[in-house]
Amino acid sequence: MGLFNKKTTIYSPAKGFVKSIERVNDQMFAAKALGDGFAVEPAAELIVSPIEGTVVSVFPTKHAISLKNKQGLEVLLHIGIDTVELDGAGFTIKVSEGDQVTEETALAEVDFSLLASKGKETDVMVIFTNLEKKTVVFDEGQVVAGQAIGTIK
């Protein structure tokens, strides 16, 4: 039984505008150094899960959460650019390691106005870190949190 034998639906983690990861203003993410994915320019503070799965870890600085689904797909949800420097300021985490999540599960609330006031870009990146030969297929445009936006093929 191989990785991703079942179709994997991906969801927007936030209300806002979905765009290609290549359009993020951070070379590491834009070059797909950590993996392929997409980003959302957020228009609301609520962050939900981009997949159905399990919380693997919550970074101590609260700016990133890693997830994994039943098929073994690994996802890094990274909130903002260079937000590790804020040491958790502006982030309220709603989940813990081991929690089961769906596209309706609140992972975090983020004070994006605080991030912006500290000079941090607010893009929410969803990076699939172990795609192998699979690709992320999604539509760019306006979305709401939890909206199905694409699949892993």
Query: Catalytic amino acids?
Result: 78
Rounded Cα distance between 60 and 64, Å, is: 9
56, containing H or E segment: strand 53-58
Rounded Cα distance between 121 and 135, Å, is: 26
- What 3-state DSSP class applies to 49? coil
Backbone angles phi, psi at 147, to 5 degrees: -75, 130
Rounded Cα distance between 22 and 104, Å, is: 27
User: Are 43 and 54 contacting, i.e. CB atoms less than 8 angstroms apart?
Assistant: no
- What 3-state DSSP class applies to 69? coil
The tokens describing 100, both together, are 């089961």
